Amino acid sequence: MKIKRLLLPIDGSERSLKSIELVKSLYQPNMVTIDLIMVSEDMDEILSEEKYESARAEVMPVLLEAAKGLEGFEVNCDLLTGKPGEEILNYAEEHYTDIIIMTKSTRHGFLQMIGSVSTYVVKYAKCIVVIVPEI
């Protein structure tokens, strides 16, 4: 299997960015395309286009800052809304992801992500899932 596309769900925490370091240690920039995503569970607050754009304006700088750590790589950044595990898997399938690389950290609040989500992703993913340990 030739690895072409990686999905890195992050929450902006220092811990979640460890997946970026792993990618840089395993792949050269010309080898893969990377999708950096964040998932917001706060659906009640993002029902309108205006609120979505407001949330996007808050999150995109975090994603773009993380993308700087992948200089030279082709990186796509996106904000998703919904249940994190489901959204990660839907995104992976829609974008023909070869590997999902994520940490097992937990963050509460606006961008709750990972933690029990990693278990869900491992269980239902149709591609390889790599969980980066806390070191």
Q: Specify the higher pLDDT residue, 88 or 46.
A: 88
The pLDDT score that the predictor gives to residue 6 is: 98
Element (H, E) at 60: helix 49-68
Q: Write down the mean pLDDT value for the chain.
A: 85
pLDDT, tens digit, 9 for 90 and up, residues 41-58: 765 555 667 777 777 788
The pLDDT score that the predictor gives to residue 38 is: 92
Token couple for 68: 């700087």
| pLDDT at residue 110 is higher than 60 | no
Q: Which domains does the chain have, with CATH numbers?
A: 27-132 (3.40.50.620)
Q: How confident is the model at residue 109 (pLDDT cuts 50, 70, 90)?
A: very low
Which residues are registered as beta bridge partners of 103? Answer: 132
| pLDDT at residue 15 is higher than 80 | yes
Cα 11 from Cα 118, distance rounded (Å): 13
| Stretch 21-25: mean pLDDT | 94
| pLDDT at residue 106 is higher than 60 | no
Q: Specify the higher pLDDT residue, 46 or 36.
A: 36
The pLDDT score that the predictor gives to residue 50 is: 74
Percent residues over pLDDT 90 in the chain: 55
In degrees, to the nearest 5, what angle opens at C-alpha 47 toward C-alphas 43 and 50?
125
